[in-house]
Amino acid sequence: MKVTILGSGPSPGVPLIGNYWGGCDPHNPKNNRTRASILIEHLGHRILIDSSPDLRQQLLRENIDWIDAVLYTHGHADHTHGINDVFLFSPVSEKEHSHLC
């Protein structure tokens, strides 16, 4: 099993708009953080945990070209507003999907 943390920043991200870093050192590249999403890869399957508003950037950065499923931890905007980027995987997928709510 492989777990990739795609983003671990708080709801507004780091830095905040206006280049506010709070207590984070702006010279450390690890402190430039996107919002929360995680990818789990296991036995040939990819499960995305949450789809942050930064999902497109995260997927491009990690060269992720497919996901099999998405699990949402809760309905806050910083965990769900990347859902439009998730829809892009449906038309190109050759796998059969079960859509459950």
Q: Report pLDDT digits (tens) over 35-73.
A: 999 999 999 999 999 999 999 999 999 999 999 999 999
At 32, the pLDDT band (50, 70, 90 cuts) reads confident
Give me the pLDDT at residue 88, please: 79
14 close to 32: Cβ distance less than 8 angstroms: yes
CA proximity to 71, closest of 80, 62, 81, 63: 80
43 C-beta neighbours (distance < 10 Å), count = 5
Residues 19, 61, 34, 52, CA torsion sign: positive
Whole-model pTM: value is 0.81
Give me the pLDDT at residue 81, please: 95
What is d(CA 97, CA 20) in angstroms, rounded to the nearest whole number? 42
CA proximity to 75, closest of 39, 51, 94, 100: 51
Residue 11 pLDDT exceeds 70: yes
